[in-house]
C-alpha cells in the first residue's frame, strides 16, 4: 500500500511539474504579434517572396501610403508589377526589381520605393486588403492595418 501511495504521489508531481501541467492555455501557446505590420510569403511553384511588416499609413489629406519590405530569397529574379490597396491601384515609384536578397523597402531610412493611393480615405485602426502583383510569383493579398501619421510613422508622407 505504501509503494502504491509513493507511486501515485510521484506521478502527480511529475505531471504537475512538467509542461503538460500547464494545459491547453499555457502562456507559451498565446503568441502575440510584435509589430503592427503583417507578414506573408509566396512559396509555391519555385518562388520564395516574403512580405514583412506590411501596413498602410493614413495621411492628413486622406492618402494611403504603403509601409513594409518585400524580399526575394531565391536566385531567380522577380519583379513587383503593382500594388493595390483596398482595391485601388497604387502609384508605385522607385525600384521594382527583386534580385536575390535585395529588398524593396517602402518608407523608412532605407526606402527605395513608394506606393501611394491618393484619396484612399480610410481611417486609422481599420484593416484593408493590400495585394502585390509579381511577374513570376503571381500575387499575394494581406489584410493590413491602417495607422495614423504619428509616432514611428510621423515621417511618412505622400
pLDDT tens digits, one per residue of 45-95: 888 999 999 999 999 999 999 999 999 999 999 999 999 999 999 999 999
pLDDT band at 6 (very low <50, low <70, confident <90, very high): confident
In a domain, 20, yes or no: no
Q: Say how many domains are in the chain.
A: 1
What share of the chain has pLDDT > 90, as a percent? 65
In a domain, 19, yes or no: no
Q: What's the pLDDT score for residue 16?
A: 65
In a domain, 9, yes or no: no
* Residues spanned by the domain of 106: 38-153
Cα–Cα distance for residue pair 56/83, rounded to 1 Å: 12
pLDDT band at 137 (very low <50, low <70, confident <90, very high): very high
Is 32 buried (19+), middle (13-18) or exposed (0-12) by CB count in 10 A? exposed
pTM of full prediction above 0.95:
no
CATH number for position 140: 2.60.40.1890
Amino acid at each position: 500500500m505504501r509503494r502504491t501511495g509513493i507511486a501515485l504521489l510521484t506521478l502527480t508531481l511529475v505531471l504537475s511539474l512538467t509542461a503538460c501541467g500547464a494545459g491547453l492555455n499555457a502562456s507559451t501557446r498565446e503568441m502575440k504579434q510584435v509589430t503592427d505590420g503583417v507578414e506573408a510569403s509566396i512559396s509555391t511553384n519555385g518562388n520564395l517572396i516574403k512580405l514583412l511588416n506590411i501596413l498602410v499609413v493614413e495621411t492628413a489629406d486622406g492618402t494611403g501610403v504603403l509601409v513594409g519590405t518585400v524580399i526575394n530569397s531565391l536566385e531567380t529574379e522577380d519583379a513587383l508589377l503593382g500594388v493595390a490597396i483596398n482595391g485601388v491601384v497604387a502609384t508605385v515609384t522607385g525600384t521594382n526589381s527583386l534580385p536575390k536578397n535585395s529588398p524593396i523597402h517602402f518608407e523608412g531610412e532605407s526606402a527605395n520605393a513608394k506606393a501611394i493611393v491618393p484619396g484612399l480615405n480610410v481611417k486609422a485602426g481599420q484593416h484593408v486588403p493590400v495585394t502585390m502583383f509579381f511577374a513570376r510569383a503571381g500575387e499575394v493579398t494581406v489584410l493590413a492595418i491602417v495607422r495614423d501619421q504619428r509616432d514611428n510613422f510621423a515621417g511618412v508622407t505622400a
